[in-house]
Amino acid sequence: MAFESLASRLQGAFDKLRGRGKIDETAVNEAMREVRLALLEADVNFKVVKEFIARVKERAVGQEVLKSLTPGQMVIKIVNEELTALMGGDVAKIAVANRPPTVVMMVGLQGAGKTTSTGKLAKHLQKQNRKPLLVAADIYRPAAIKQLQVLGEQIKAPVFSLGDQVSPVEIARQAIEHAKENHLDYVLIDTAGRLHIDEALMEELRQVREVAKPDEILLVVDAMTGQDAVNVAESFNQQLELTGVVLTKLDGDTRGGAALSVKAVTGKPIKFAAMGEKLDALEPFHPDRMASRILG
C-alpha cells in the first residue's frame, strides 16, 4: 500500500513521544531526526524536508507545547498540520469559467495516466451534473484516440476527434466551437505526451494553449516515479504555467515523495488523486486526509 513504510516510520518516531508525560527539547529533536530520515526515505525532496523540519521544530519547542499536559500529542498535531500545509492546505477545486465552456488542458508524459485521467475527470464532472466533452488531441500515440473513444462510450460522454491528420491546435479550436454550439460546459483536451520532455512537445502544447485559452492546465504525473514526477512537474510548470497536478497510481506502493513535494517545489496544488484503473478511481485531493493517512 502507498505510504506504508513512511507511515510506520513516523508512528515509530511518535510512539516514543506519546508514551511520555513530560518531554523536553532533546526529545523533540530526537523525534524530528527520525521524521527527517523517514521523509528522505520516502523520497521527499531534500530542501522540502529541511524546511519542513525547521517549521515543525520552531512550533514544537515552544513553551506552551512542552509544558502542556500532552506534549507528545501536541507535537504530533503540529506535524499533522504542517504536512497538510505542505500539500497545499485546503482542497484546490477545479476551475469554473465565468462563461462556459471551461477549458481544461490535460498534459503529461506518456504512460503517466493522462488519457485515463481525462476519462475519469469527465466522469467526476458528470456526477456534478456537468456536461464534459472529451477531445482527442493526442494524434501521435496510435491508440490514444481509440482509447478516448472507448472511455467516452463507457461514461456516455461525447468525444471530439478529427482523426490523426489534423493539427492538435485545429482540433482544440474546433472542439471548443463544438462545445459552445452543443452547450457542453467542460472541454477536456487530451494532449500528446512523449517519453521525455522535449522542445517539440512543449512548443505544440504552447500553441494549443494559445488557441484554447485554457482555464486549467493540469499535469498528470505518476506518483510511483517519486522525485522524477516532481522534476517533470517543475519543467512543465516553467514552460507552460500549470494550474494544478493530477497525481496518479496512488493505489500502488508509492513511497510518497511526489505527493509530499510537488506543491512545495512547484507552487502548484495537487487537484486530483487517481487511485486505480477504474473510471471512478479519481478523487479531489484532500491534503488533510492525506496527512492523516500518512500519520496513521
Q: Does position 249 bind ligand GDP by CB under 6 A? A: yes
Q: Does position 251 bind ligand GDP by CB under 6 A? A: yes
Q: Which amino acid is at 202?
A: M
Write down the number of H helices and E strands in the chain.
Answer: 12, 8
Cell numbers that stand for 231 in this block:
522534476
Assess contact for 268 and 244: CB atoms under 8 A: yes
Q: Does position 72 bind ligand GDP by CB under 6 A? A: no
Q: Does position 58 bind ligand GDP by CB under 6 A? A: no
Distance CA 272, CA 184 (A): 22
Distance CA 232, CA 169 (A): 23
Nearest-CB residue to ligand GDP?
A: 113
Contact pattern from residue 212 through residue 231 relative to ligand GDP, giving x for each residue in contact according to CB under 6 A and a dash for the rest: --------x-----------
Helix axes 114-127, 144-155, angle to 10 degrees: 20
The gap from C-alpha 51 to its chain's centroid, in whole angstroms, comes to 21
Smallest separation, CB 224 to ligand GDP (Å):
9
Q: Does position 277 bind ligand GDP by CB under 6 A? A: yes
Q: Does position 124 bind ligand GDP by CB under 6 A? A: no
Distance CA 178, CA 100 (A): 12
Smallest separation, CB 199 to ligand GDP (Å):
20
Q: Which is nearer to ligand GDP, 66 or 155 (CB)?
A: 155
Q: Does position 111 bind ligand GDP by CB under 6 A? A: yes
Q: Is the peptide bond before 100 cis (omega within 30 degrees of 0)?
A: no
The region of 52-60, 87-95, 211-219, 270-278 touching ligand GDP under the rule CB under 6 A is 270-278
Size of the site for ligand GDP (CB under 6 A): 19
Summarize as ranges the residues that interact with ligand GDP (CB under 6 A).
108, 110-116, 193, 220, 248-249, 251-252, 274-277, 281
